[in-house]
Amino acid sequence: MQSIDRWKGRVALVTGASAGIGRAVAEQLADAGLKVALTARRAERLEALAARIRERGGEALALPADARDEAALLDVFARIRAEWGGVDVMINNAGLGRMDSLCDGETAAWREMFEVNVLALSICTREAIGDMRARGDAGQIIHISSMAGHRVPGDSGGFYAATKHAVKGLTEALRRELRAADSAIRVCAISPGMVETEFAEVMGGPDIVEEAYGRFPCLQPHDVADAVLFALTRPPHSQIHDILLRPTRQPS
């Protein structure tokens, strides 16, 4: 295992840090010695997480924002620049699914998925790259994508799968842009299968949670955070492009 030492004292922004995967990633990055900026809508959860991190000797900033609001996202970056100088590690994790089908779903649900899963991820990526360029043209972008970005998972959730297919395209397109610019900034996606978080309840309500997470032992948020640490700790010449991470007993 390579060392996390070169990231110690550097600045990570984690979107969707109020729950699930984002919270676990933020905790592991803080434990590894990075300063962590936390964003999501639920301010009290971010404050509680920031307080826990500080109690453990880490540095954290709670910066609530709705990812659908570009001005609010830009303000998050402005606050980080003012406090810590800019972002070195961008964890694009905020995301959600809605059940709304392609045949008769609500446009508002498609728009919400697109704005959070694709557009906010792209805005945060652009802003973080600006910071990384100003801070020595290094740094790392990590998108939390999904197995749904690699195959269409079933006969529902099609729009969600389309947003994650978009993330797959954006990951490779960014890698190509950065190569063309001869940049040392790395980009990586991590594509989990079923992870036991609030995701299923947000997607389908409390009734689907047991069905979603009860069929086999699911991944836990810290399993995904481990993959983030693995990607970050590769030496500078080695770039992980994607990690497909399924529960052992997940069929598809």
- Indicate which residues carry an active-site annotation: 160
Q: Which residues are bridge partners to 8 per DSSP?
A: none
Decide: is 247 part of the binding site for ligand NAP (CB under 6 A).
no
Sign of CA dihedral 53, 128, 71, 82: positive
CA distance 190 to 168: 10
Q: What single letter denotes the amino acid at residue 208?
A: I
Stretch that binds ligand NAP, among 30-38, 101-109, 131-139, 197-205 (CB under 6 A): 197-205
Q: Shortest gap between Cβ of 82 and ligand NAP (angstroms)?
A: 21
Decide: is 195 part of the binding site for ligand NAP (CB under 6 A).
yes
Name which position in 7, 10, 12, 16 contacts ligand NAP (CB under 6 A): 16
Stretch that binds ligand NAP, among 20-28, 102-110, 125-133, 169-177 (CB under 6 A): 20-28
Decide: is 202 part of the binding site for ligand NAP (CB under 6 A).
yes
Which residues have CB under 8 Å from 160's CB, separation 6+? Answer: 96, 97, 98, 113, 117, 146, 148, 203
Decide: is 119 part of the binding site for ligand NAP (CB under 6 A).
no
Name which position in 20, 58, 86, 158 contacts ligand NAP (CB under 6 A): 20
Distances (CA, A) of 124 to 92, 221, 238: 7, 22, 23
Q: Shortest gap between Cβ of 196 and ligand NAP (angstroms)?
A: 7
Residue 122 main-chain phi, psi, to 5 deg: -75, -40
Residues 232 and 140 sit within 8 Å (Cβ to Cβ): yes
174 exposed, middle or buried (CB, 10 Å; 0-12, 13-18, 19+)?
buried
Name which position in 58, 95, 139, 247 contacts ligand NAP (CB under 6 A): 95
**CB-wise, 42 or 111, nearer to ligand NAP?**
42
Decide: is 225 part of the binding site for ligand NAP (CB under 6 A).
no
3-class SS of residue 85: coil
- The residue whose two tokens read 């989990």 is 192
From residue 130 to residue 169, the character string flagging contacts with ligand NAP as x (rule: CB under 6 A) and all else as - is: --------------x-x-----------------------
User: Would you tell me which residues interact with ligand NAP (CB under 6 A)?
Assistant: 16, 18-22, 40-42, 66-68, 93-96, 116, 144, 146, 192, 194-195, 197-199, 202
